Amino acid sequence: MKSTALAMFVACTIVTAALAAESVPVSAPSPQKSILVTGASTGIGRKIVERLAADGYFVYAGARKDKDLAELSAIRNVQGVRLDVTRTDEIAAAVETVRKGGRGLYGLVNNAGVAVAGPLVNTREADLHFLMDTNVYGPFRVTNAFMPLIEQSKGRVVTIGSISGILAGPLLGAYSMSKHAIEAYGDTLAEELVASGVGVSIVEPGGFKSEINANLLKHMTESAGGVAPDEAIARRLGSAGRTEYKEPDEVATAVTRALFDAMPQRRYMVVPNQREAEVTIRKQIEQLVQLNGNQPYAYDRDALVALLDAALVEAKAAHP
């Protein structure tokens, strides 16, 4: 009798548990978030694509050459998309590709960039246009084109700036001009998109391995009819194409944080060493002192320190 009663009790328990399990709805898996990365063929862009894809996100990787598109599409979770940020027809086609993909678009990483070098008084207007067309108008065009999709997902826009957006010096003035423009672009865009729930960040790398210098030397040589740039410029840029620099893994990490942190920072300075960090922060302090000096509403030292302390407290509260 006891064994029969025990068997009946166990059977009832199993049936009850099964019915309870059937009555609890099973949550559908979260949809795979998709990200578009421009300038994805090499360097920082390629590293960002590889990191996001490895983390399980779907990446639309923008590139211009067939070879690069094929290599990118061979990566799991990656689809190469033909995208020259200076061409409105390719941008429109990329929007259509993403729409047809059916995943929506959570994030945009404006990474495509070029550089020119030389004294500003000798810089050709055509070279300045080449630079601004990619570095400034490019993010503007691409962001505007994809904004309806990003707003729909309440997603993120991350633009790759540079510590050259803070610093400026001989021979790279035009490049710094373009990256200073990105600082203003990011700040304004962030304020204008608050109501839509879209987050905006600027990632400001220092000297990491990339192809930008090698591409710059190639462009300068071609635009000068095959004449290589003078020794001073070549020495400043380094003909090795930054191959001796660190891999930009830390930049990819900062981009991931900007895309997915609950409270993303407005700026992420990412430098490979203490020296570059110090030079950049010192420049900001120098500009503060210059702005404050010899004007009728200047702050004294104590007032400046109080302002800095208040800003630090506010930043810590926003990003503990």
Mean pLDDT of 84-89: 98
Distance CA 208, CA 171 (A): 19
The answer to whether 49 touches 73, Cβ cutoff 8 Å, is: no
Give the burial string for 179-215 (b: 16+ CB within 10 Å, else e).
bbbbbebbeebbeebeeeebbbbbbbbbbbbbbbbbb
The whole-number pLDDT of residue 223 equals 65
Look at residue 15 and tell me whether its pLDDT is greater than 90.
no
AA identity, residue 124: R
Look at residue 230 and tell me whether its pLDDT is greater than 90.
no
Which of the residues are catalytic? 175
* Collapsed DSSP state (helix, strand, coil) of residue 204: strand
Lowest mean pLDDT across 9-23, 73-87, 98-112, 161-175: 9-23
Output the CA–CA distances (angstroms, integers) from residue 180 to 42, 53, 80, 177, 257, in the order listed: 23, 30, 30, 5, 22
pLDDT digits (tens, 9 = 90+) for 127-141: 999 999 999 999 999
The whole-number pLDDT of residue 215 equals 65
The whole-number pLDDT of residue 5 equals 47
Look at residue 263 and tell me whether its pLDDT is greater than 90.
yes
The answer to whether 150 touches 197, Cβ cutoff 8 Å, is: no
Output the CA–CA distances (angstroms, integers) from residue 97 to 82, 100, 138, 146, 255, in the order listed: 10, 5, 18, 11, 23
The whole-number pLDDT of residue 146 equals 98
Distance CA 99, CA 163 (A): 34
Mean model confidence pLDDT for the chain:
88
Mean pLDDT of 244-251: 90
Residue found under tokens 């990011």:
186
Look at residue 305 and tell me whether its pLDDT is greater than 70.
yes
Alpha helices in 125-247 (DSSP H): 125-135, 137-153, 173-192, 212-223, 231-237
Look at residue 142 and tell me whether its pLDDT is greater than 80.
yes
